[in-house]
Chains A and B, each alone.
Chain A
Amino acid sequence: MWMSILNQLLQGVMVGGLYALFALGLAISSGILRFVNVAHGDLIVMVSYLFLSLVTGLGLHPLLAAVLLLPLCFGGAWLLQRVLLHRVVGQGVLPVILVTFGLSVIVQNGLQGVYGADTRKVAALGFESATWSLGGGVNIGALPLTIFVAAVLMIGGLDRFLYRTRRGAQLRAIADDVQAASLVGLPTQRLYGLAMGLVGLTVAVAASFMAVWTNFDPSAGPNRLLIAFEVVVLAGLGSLWGTLAGGILIGLAQTVGAQVDTAWQSLAGHLVFLAVFLVRPQGLFPKY
């Protein structure tokens, strides 16, 4: 009995990795671009559908499709920023929320029109059901572990990029004070595009993993957004490793809730978020 509980808790921690991946893009867009992209969840779902089309429509190997998605999403996000979002970034709260909200509605209904409302999943040649044994009756899914490791690698990579490279320093500069940054000659618009491109990269990774692990349908976007939002708020403004902690917290909460009753899964996550938020509204590891 304890073994199965331990396995479930381990599963919850691994789910946290996926949630951290969801949240990473939102953390970048809220930390550097200073806006909350309400369409974030829907963009993840859209890329999942893209992944689905690449694997089933074009018959590509899932790994190849995932690698192909990376530059595609980087470019797509960069384009989104340069064409649409740059008009509303920094202009106050209302336009940004309304534009991204409109975008969310468009993406959701567009996906429904193109792909239909059925739930989908991408089959990854049996990898998704493989389990590895850690000994002593503790089993861990190969896919969840891979996702967790990928989350850690991505967070570590982004952390290094932001804090150890010149470009990262420039990005942090525009996050701190964009007007001062442009005064010293930084190309702010191009840097915003780069930041959004990074968001696209995280979305590509998160979406590919999500498509293999869970079912998704056109209306699954808001759910992902809410999870990503909760993780970002729990992590604290500016913290990247905090998203891992926040993701694990929410993942564990959901797993425990699911043990009580499957219908309690989402509610448990939300309740834990609200409880932690009330006690510590600035997040667990705020940098600012």
Chain B
Amino acid sequence: MLFPPHARVWTGRLLLLTLVVSALVAPWTFGPVHLQLGTQMLCLLALAYLWNLLAGYANIMVIGQHALVGMGAYAFYGCSVLLEWPLLQSLLGSLVVGLLAGILMLALIFQLRDAYLAVGSWVVAETLMLACTKFDAFGAGSGMGLPLDLVKRLGRNPTDRAIAIYTLVALVTALIAVSVYLLMRSRIGLALGAMRDNEEGAASIGVNTVRARILCFLWAAPLTGLMGALIALQKLRISPASSFSMTDWTIYVLFIVVIGGLGSLEGPILGTLLFFVMREFLQDLGVWYLILLGALAIAVILYEPKGLWGMLRRVLPDDLLPLRHRPPQTKRKPITP
């Protein structure tokens, strides 16, 4: 035993803190190219946390979240360019549209179960994407670039813009991560944990299973839309192919969460790091990169369902970010006969 168990946990927490701090001071320490890479990483991390909330904690497996990303991006374009709202209001607009699209998706697929729900969400996503290609104001099938004056609002030169976008994305990602943590520590999190263990048992002791699930979905949906808007800001364009891209916003996110560790807070971080490391070294392989990713995901599900974090967790006595609820310590003296 090289490290005593509790030292390992605190080492892990220290590493996590270092990561967070380096992400926070990045605008001052990194140049625009690295900041853009950081922005991409944080975007995927945020989407990973949101999908993890849905699939890992609330057990709503959707594979249609790329529709919410796309709707958020298109809403942002609509608000900021067509309605000419200021930046902040446009972002809020994408939040609202994300919520509405989420409500629509939920209303359509809530009756379905399990795999039917997953593919049903995909059908809704496909429908929303096809519907968005019909509007010429949004560039129909080929999309539109964001106009220059909108881009200039972020900053006068590329470096300022990179810093501005990075800061926005970092703030939203932090908001998402913290909100997921707080949500899971609240009664909703307790309810979801009970439902995961035994849904009928949880319902029989009074857990409102429907309400818990719906709340999680309605929390994740607008934030996904907001991420879509930020992604459009980063890419400087909206289009059905890139804003609604299933590969970028569902497949990659799915693999990140599954390989990193589904149903944990540390897993998405591990998954994102691994994903970008793999991308750096393996991108020249072209199609083989995705094949490898798919094979890795299958291997993880078959042999280590809790992912990389699951493997690490076995040598750690506690989570880095504990979600467990300890029973309250009683101060009364025990009753002696």
Q: Which of B55, B115, B126, B134 has the most CB of A within 10 A?
A: B115
Smallest CB–CB gap between B274 and chain A, Å?
16
CA distance A277 to B122 in the complex (A): 15
B305 proximity list for chain A (CB < 8 A):
95
Cβ–Cβ contact A267 & B294, under 8 A? no
Give the interface segment out of A105-113, A149-157, A171-179.
A105-113
Q: Number of B residues whose C-beta is below 8 Å from A?
A: 42
With A99-B302, A102-B297, A105-B251 given, is the CB distance from A113 to B130 under 8 Å?
Answer: no
| Docked complex: B259-293 residues within 8 A CB-CB of A | 262, 286-288, 290-291, 293
Smallest CB–CB gap between A108 and chain B, Å?
8
| Docked complex: A55-105 residues within 8 A CB-CB of B | 84, 87-88, 93-99, 101-105
How many residues of A sit at the interface, in one of the four size bands? Answer: 35 or more
Cβ–Cβ contact B115 & A93, under 8 A? yes
Cβ–Cβ contact B108 & A106, under 8 A? no
Give the interface segment out of A121-129, A223-231, A238-246.
A223-231
A277 proximity list for chain B (CB < 8 A):
108
Smallest CB–CB gap between B140 and chain A, Å?
9
Q: Mark B217-256, 1 if CB is under 8 A from A, else 0.
A: 0000000000000000000000000000010000100110
With A87-B302, A95-B301, A278-B108 given, is the CB distance from A36 to B116 under 8 Å?
Answer: yes
B133 within 8 A of A: yes
Q: Which of A97, A229, A273 has the most CB of B within 10 A?
A: A97
Cβ–Cβ contact A113 & B127, under 8 A? no
B106 within 8 A of A: no
Smallest CB–CB gap between B147 and chain A, Å?
26
B111 within 8 A of A: yes
B133 proximity list for chain A (CB < 8 A):
263
Cβ–Cβ contact A109 & B287, under 8 A? yes
With A105-B291, A113-B291, A233-B116 given, is the CB distance from A93 to B61 under 8 Å?
Answer: yes
Smallest CB–CB gap between B254 and chain A, Å?
7
Cβ–Cβ contact A113 & B294, under 8 A? no
B150 within 8 A of A: no
B67 proximity list for chain A (CB < 8 A):
none
With A113-B288, A273-B123 given, is the CB distance from A103 to B294 under 8 Å?
Answer: yes
Smallest CB–CB gap between A126 and chain B, Å?
34
Q: Is the interface of A mostly helix, strand, loop or mixed?
A: helix
B47 within 8 A of A: no
Cβ–Cβ contact B294 & A94, under 8 A? no
CA distance A229 to B127 in the complex (A): 14
CA distance A160 to B18 in the complex (A): 66
CA distance A267 to B246 in the complex (A): 17
| Docked complex: A236-288 residues within 8 A CB-CB of B | 263-264, 266-267, 270-271, 273-274, 277-278, 281
A84 proximity list for chain B (CB < 8 A):
298
A213 within 8 A of B: no
Residue of B nearest to A228 (CB): B119
Task: Choose among A93, A113, A274 the residue that contacts B108 (Cβ–Cβ < 8 A).
Answer: A274
Cβ–Cβ contact A266 & B115, under 8 A? no
A49 within 8 A of B: no
With A93-B114, A98-B297 given, is the CB distance from A270 to B302 under 8 Å?
Answer: no
B295 within 8 A of A: yes
A109 proximity list for chain B (CB < 8 A):
287-288, 290-291, 294
- Which 3 pairs show the lowest CB-CB distances between chains A and B? A36-B115, A93-B114, A105-B294
Please list 24 pairs of residues, one from A and one from B, whose beta carbons are closer than 8 Å in the complex, sorted by A's number: A36-B119, A38-B119, A97-B63, A97-B118, A98-B297, A98-B301, A99-B301, A106-B298, A109-B288, A113-B286, A113-B288, A222-B246, A226-B122, A226-B123, A229-B119, A230-B123, A233-B120, A266-B126, A267-B134, A271-B127, A273-B123, A274-B108, A278-B108, A281-B111
Q: What residues of chain A have their CB less than 8 Å away from a CB belonging to chain B?
A: 30, 35-36, 38, 84, 87-88, 93-99, 101-106, 108-110, 112-113, 222, 225-226, 229-230, 233, 263-264, 266-267, 270-271, 273-274, 277-278, 281
Please give 17 more A-B residue pairs, beta carbons under 8 A apart, in addition to A35-B115, A36-B115, A105-B293. Answer: A96-B115, A97-B115, A98-B298, A98-B301, A102-B297, A102-B301, A106-B295, A109-B287, A113-B287, A222-B246, A229-B119, A229-B123, A267-B131, A270-B126, A270-B127, A274-B123, A281-B112
